[in-house]
A and B are shown apart, each in its own frame.
Chain A
Amino acid sequence: MKLAVKIRHRLGSFLLDAQFETGGGLVALFGRSGSGKTSVVNIIAGLIRPEHGCISIGDVTLVDTERNLFVPRHRRRIGYVFQESRLFPHLTVRQNLLYGRWFAPKSERREDFDSVVELLGIGGLLGRRPAGLSGGEKQRVAIGRALLSGPRALLMDEPLASLDEARKAEILPYIERLRDHSRLPIIYVSHSIAEVSRLASTVVLLSEGKVVAVGPVSDVMQRLDLFPLTGRAEAGAIIEAIVERHDNDFGLTELSSRAGRWKLARLEAPVGTRIRLRVRARDVVLARSQPSDLSTLNMMAGTVAEISRSDGPIVDVRINCNGEDITARITRYSLDRLSLSPGVPVFALIKSVALERRSLSGPIDALASRAEPEASDS
Chain B
Amino acid sequence: MLNALGISAMEWFALNPEEWAAVRLSLKVATVATFVSLPIGIATAMLLVRGRFWGRSLLDGIVMLPLILPPVVTGYLLLISFGRRGPIGAFLADYFGIVFSFRWTGAALACGVMGFPLMVRAIRLSIEAVDCRLEEAAGTLGANRAWVFFTVTLPLVVPGIIAGMILCFAKAMGEFGATITFVSNIPGETQTLPSAIYTFTQVPGGDAGAFRLTLISIGIAMTALFASELLARQAKRRLEVA
CA distance A131 to B241 in the complex (A): 5
Which residue of B139, B140, B144, B242 is within 8 Å of A130 (Cβ)? B242
In the complex with contacts A88-B152, A131-B242, A99-B133 CB distance below 8 A: no
B138 interfacial by beta-carbon distance below 8 Å: yes
Q: Kindly supply a per-residue 1/0 record for chain A positions 122-133, scoring 1 wherever the CB is within 8 Å of any chain B CB and 0 otherwise.
A: 000000011111
B142 interfacial by beta-carbon distance below 8 Å: yes
Interface residues on chain A, size class: 20 to 34
- State whether B133 touches A46 (Cβ < 8 A): no
Q: Kindly supply a per-residue 1/0 record for chain B positions 148-159, scoring 1 wherever the CB is within 8 Å of any chain A CB and 0 otherwise.
A: 100110011000
CA distance A129 to B155 in the complex (A): 14
Chain B positions 126-164 with a Cβ under 8 Å from a chain A Cβ:
131, 133-134, 136-144, 147-148, 151-152, 155-156
Q: Kindly supply a per-residue 1/0 record for chain A positions 67-111, scoring 1 wherever the CB is within 8 Å of any chain B CB and 0 otherwise.
A: 000001111111110101010111000000001101110000000
Which residue of A72, A89, A129, A149 is within 8 Å of B141 (Cβ)? A149
In the complex with contacts A103-B142, A104-B142, A89-B240 CB distance below 8 A: yes
CA distance A73 to B155 in the complex (A): 22
CA distance A149 to B137 in the complex (A): 12
CA distance A99 to B151 in the complex (A): 9
B216 interfacial by beta-carbon distance below 8 Å: no
Inter-chain contacts of A129 with B (CB < 8 A)? 238, 240
A63 interfacial by beta-carbon distance below 8 Å: no
B239 interfacial by beta-carbon distance below 8 Å: yes
- State whether A76 touches B140 (Cβ < 8 A): yes
Inter-chain contacts of A133 with B (CB < 8 A)? 242
CA distance A130 to B137 in the complex (A): 15
CB of A276 to closest CB in B, whole Å: 30
- State whether A77 touches B238 (Cβ < 8 A): no
Interface residues on chain B, size class: 20 to 34
- State whether A86 touches B143 (Cβ < 8 A): no
Which residue of B138, B140, B147, B151 is within 8 Å of A45 (Cβ)? B140
Chain A positions 104-146 with a Cβ under 8 Å from a chain B Cβ:
104, 129-133, 145-146
In the complex with contacts A74-B143, A103-B147, A86-B242 CB distance below 8 A: no
CB of B14 to closest CB in A, whole Å: 46
A47 interfacial by beta-carbon distance below 8 Å: yes
- State whether B240 touches A79 (Cβ < 8 A): no
- State whether B140 touches A79 (Cβ < 8 A): yes
CA distance A364 to B138 in the complex (A): 33
CA distance A154 to B1 in the complex (A): 84
- State whether B155 touches A80 (Cβ < 8 A): no
Which residue of B133, B143, B148, B239 is within 8 Å of A82 (Cβ)? B133
Inter-chain contacts of B242 with A (CB < 8 A)? 130-133
Inter-chain contacts of B152 with A (CB < 8 A)? 88
Residue of B139, B239, B241 contacting most chain A CB atoms (<10 Å): B139
- State whether B239 touches A78 (Cβ < 8 A): no
CA distance A45 to B140 in the complex (A): 7
- State whether A100 touches B238 (Cβ < 8 A): no
CA distance A131 to B239 in the complex (A): 8
Inter-chain contacts of A88 with B (CB < 8 A)? 134, 137-138, 152
Chain A residue nearest to B156 (CB atoms) is A90
- State whether A103 touches B141 (Cβ < 8 A): yes
CA distance A45 to B239 in the complex (A): 27
- State whether B155 touches A82 (Cβ < 8 A): no
- State whether A82 touches B142 (Cβ < 8 A): no
CA distance A141 to B17 in the complex (A): 61
Inter-chain contacts of A76 with B (CB < 8 A)? 140
Chain B residue nearest to A84 (CB atoms) is B133
- State whether A74 touches B239 (Cβ < 8 A): no
In the complex with contacts A89-B156, A133-B242, A47-B138 CB distance below 8 A: no
In the complex with contacts A88-B152, A90-B156, A133-B242, A47-B143 CB distance below 8 A: no
Residue of A74, A82, A130, A131 contacting most chain B CB atoms (<10 Å): A74
- State whether A46 touches B142 (Cβ < 8 A): no
Chain A positions 18-73 with a Cβ under 8 Å from a chain B Cβ:
45-47, 72-73
CB of A157 to closest CB in B, whole Å: 11
- State whether A100 touches B141 (Cβ < 8 A): yes
- State whether B141 touches A90 (Cβ < 8 A): no
CB of A110 to closest CB in B, whole Å: 14
Inter-chain contacts of A104 with B (CB < 8 A)? 142
CB of A279 to closest CB in B, whole Å: 38
CB of A69 to closest CB in B, whole Å: 18
CB of A280 to closest CB in B, whole Å: 36
Q: Kindly supply a per-residue 1/0 record for chain B positions 177-202, scoring 1 wherever the CB is within 8 Å of any chain A CB and 0 otherwise.
A: 00000000000000000000000000
Which residue of A84, A130, A149 is within 8 Å of B142 (Cβ)? A149
CA distance A46 to B136 in the complex (A): 10
- State whether B239 touches A90 (Cβ < 8 A): yes
- State whether B140 touches A47 (Cβ < 8 A): yes
Chain B positions 188-242 with a Cβ under 8 Å from a chain A Cβ:
238-242
- 18 A-B contacts (beta carbon < 8 Å): A46-B140, A47-B139, A47-B140, A72-B144, A73-B140, A74-B142, A74-B143, A75-B142, A80-B140, A86-B134, A88-B134, A88-B137, A89-B156, A89-B239, A104-B142, A129-B238, A133-B242, A146-B140
Residues of A within 8 A of B (CB): 45-47, 72-80, 82, 84, 86, 88-90, 99-100, 102-104, 129-133, 145-146, 149
Besides the known contacts A74-B144, A80-B140, A131-B242, 10 further A-B residue pairs in the complex with CB atoms under 8 A apart: A47-B136, A47-B139, A73-B139, A74-B140, A82-B137, A86-B133, A86-B136, A88-B138, A129-B240, A149-B140
Name the 6 nearest CB pairs between A and B, nearest first. A103-B142, A100-B141, A86-B137, A80-B140, A73-B139, A131-B242
